[in-house]
Amino acid sequence: MHLYDSPASGLPSGIMMIPIMVAIFYFVLWRPQQQEAKAQQTLIAGLQRGDLVVTSGGIHGKVHEARADTLVLEVSPNSYITVDRDTVKRKVTADAPAVAKADK
């Protein structure tokens, strides 16, 4: 008997690989992406007046007014812009400053 005499001999192990691959893709790709999306939605929903934010376009500002679908950001003294809530990439905190200080 040769190795290639029975073409169906590898079928059960091949069928078992499909669920294993699906599980790997779920835990490596889909699940982390879903968790990240959920965290982003929580961030966006929790924004309120006075929060410092950075938009996906790189605009830094302070939330002046939070509306249902938009935010009014103060980008400099007495200078305001309106952006969609979905464009907010992150909230600036004391732990994560908006601009990294240059090394001296």
pTM of the predicted model as reported, rounded to 2 decimal places = 0.64
Q: What is the mean pLDDT of residues 67-92?
A: 94
More confident residue, 96 or 12: 12
38-68: pLDDT as tens digits = 999 999 999 999 999 999 999 999 999 999 9
Rounded-to-integer distance, Cα 88 and Cα 62, Å? 11
- Residue whose tokens read 């005499």: 5
Comparing C-alpha atoms, which of 83, 86, 85, 91 is closest to residue 54? 91
State residue 93's pLDDT score.
Answer: 84
Going by pLDDT thresholds of 50, 70 and 90, the confidence category of residue 9 is low
Across 13-21, average pLDDT: 84
Q: What is the mean pLDDT of the chain?
A: 84
Structural domain spans, the chain: 7-45, 48-104
Q: What is the CATH T-level fold of the domain 48-104, as seen in this structure?
A: SH3 type barrels. (2.30.30)
